[in-house]
Amino acid sequence: MNNFHVILAATAAVFAAFGEITIRSDYPGGNVKVCGIDETNGVVRIAPDLRDTQGRWFHWDFTLRGAAGRKIHFSLPDDKWQYISSLGPAISKDGGRTWSWLRPDGTRHEPANAFDYTFGPDERETRFAVSIPYAQKDWDAFIAKWRGKDVVCDVLCKSQSGTRDTELLRIPCRKAAKWLFAFTARHHACETSANAPMEGVVEAILSGTPEGEWLRDNADCVFVPFMDKDGVENGDQGKNRRPYDHNRDYLKGRYTSVRALKELLVKESEGKQIVFIDMHSPHVRSLPSCPEQDQVFTFGCRDERLNAHWNEFRKNWKETQKGGALVYDGKYDIFAGKGYAVTMEKQWAAGFMSSDPWVRTLPNCYLATCCEFGYSLCGGVYSFPAARELGRNMLKALVRTAQASEKP
């Protein structure tokens, strides 16, 4: 293997070069460890930069220059872990403005730790990522379309570092609110597939749909797109942070955003019923033992009353999403006491509670659950337009579930 040069910046961004090929990750969401560049044989060895994540995880995002007209083999660690999504890497040839999958036809990419890519003769710079990235600039571009249309761009709190604002979007009720609808994403910084469905929820509320109009007259709505704001911008994994991550912090209150969200939910739900949806991405690809990882799925609970509301939501979402570009059919939902729910319950018993079970402890909770959106396969080929549609239909289902409570 040929020698190469690496410079580590204070932001943990990477620049690596040997001969013509250069690799960098010095932008929001960027993450890579360059383990070797063999220009002669066209081999690049990379790995995720885990930083403070315990164990292994899979987020990486880098830009390569200097390989025009060449076929390059990209190799990640051969340690029986999964580092590449079911459709291969997400690829952008225009600086991150548009993205496609290595396997855009939906066929599964193998193996889970390597891929080949042939650069076009004029392809000077290409960005590769484990998922389609989403950072503050993407949220800002989305919200710009709705400014002046009854949305309030607020701040939940300062980020953990104290250097960034943690955004809070409000859509206030036009009348006396009976409900508080709250949506969060990116408790785990790398889970980028959750934000486009959140955009769809906002669209469904503000675009004049019957469900959106009902919500505008009956509920205050709040959105936190980046619970781990520093991690999102720095390109951290976020999952399994030492000593624990944002979504295991709802008893201890280590993180500023978790403390602020808990305070907001208690204070602003007074006299209202709560619908709370925490939006996540699961593992990077499905496994025979975990087929749900390439799907859309959500979690039940042991509380009989709240679980009945969850089942009503599931039934409604199956109806509203029918015929959509992505599939939600409820087949992969995880019921209390089964599968990964058992692991979660053990963590809660050990004092590491996540967001939705904490919300379920509030006396005015009507529905609180975690919704997972597969990274590349998501009941179909993941794209931002398809994921926004999924979010719009999820919001319709949530409203119909709330409306059912008002029937005699």
**How much is the pLDDT for 2?**
39
Residues 6+ away with beta carbon under 8 Å from 386: 324, 325, 326, 378, 380
Q: Is residue 89 over pLDDT 50? A: yes
CA-to-CA distance for 184 and 368, rounded, in angstroms? 11
Mean pLDDT, residues 325-330 taken together: 98
pLDDT category of residue 349 using cuts at 50, 70 and 90: confident
The DSSP code sequence of 87-132 is T--EEESSTTSS-EESSTTSPPP--TTEEEEEPPTT--EEEEESS-
**How much is the pLDDT for 1?**
35
**How much is the pLDDT for 408?**
62
Mean pLDDT, residues 148-159 taken together: 94
Cβ contact 122:61 at 8 Å: no
DSSP code, position 407: -
Q: Which domains does the chain have, with CATH numbers?
A: 5-129 (2.60.40.3120), 136-404 (3.40.630.10)
**How much is the pLDDT for 346?**
79
CA-to-CA distance for 201 and 185, rounded, in angstroms? 12
Residues 6+ away with beta carbon under 8 Å from 407: none
**How much is the pLDDT for 148?**
81
Which tops the pLDDT comparison, 302 or 339?
302
Which tops the pLDDT comparison, 347 or 373?
373
**How much is the pLDDT for 18?**
60
Tokens of 182: 């709250």
Q: Name which of 31, 100, 20, 87 is nearest 62 in CA terms.
A: 31
Q: Is residue 11 over pLDDT 60? A: no
Mean pLDDT, residues 11-32 taken together: 83
Which tops the pLDDT comparison, 27 or 408?
27
Question: Which class for 152: exposed (0-12), middle (13-18), buried (19 or more C-beta within 10 A)?
Answer: exposed
DSSP code, position 299: B
DSSP code, position 232: H
**Tens digit of each residue's pLDDT (9 = 90 or more) over 169-208:** 999 999 999 999 999 999 999 999 999 999 999 999 999 9
Q: Name which of 193, 187, 188 is nearest 262 in CA terms.
A: 187
Q: Name which of 362, 235, 371, 245 is nearest 310 in CA terms.
A: 371
Q: Is the peptide bond before 243 cis (omega within 30 degrees of 0)?
A: yes
CA-to-CA distance for 213 and 209, rounded, in angstroms? 6
* Cα-Cα-Cα-Cα dihedral sign, residues 116, 119, 120, 125: positive
**How much is the pLDDT for 3?**
38
Q: Distance of CA 400 to CAs 35, 101, 212, 215, 318, Å?
A: 52, 35, 11, 10, 12
Per the confidence metrics, is the pTM higher than 0.85?
yes
Question: Which class for 118: exposed (0-12), middle (13-18), buried (19 or more C-beta within 10 A)?
Answer: exposed
Across the chain, what does the average pLDDT equal? 94
Question: Which class for 121: exposed (0-12), middle (13-18), buried (19 or more C-beta within 10 A)?
Answer: exposed
**How much is the pLDDT for 338?**
76
pLDDT category of residue 337 using cuts at 50, 70 and 90: confident
**Tens digit of each residue's pLDDT (9 = 90 or more) over 30-72:** 999 999 999 999 999 999 999 999 999 999 999 999 999 999 9
The proportion of the chain whose per-residue pLDDT surpasses 90, expressed as a percent, equals: 89
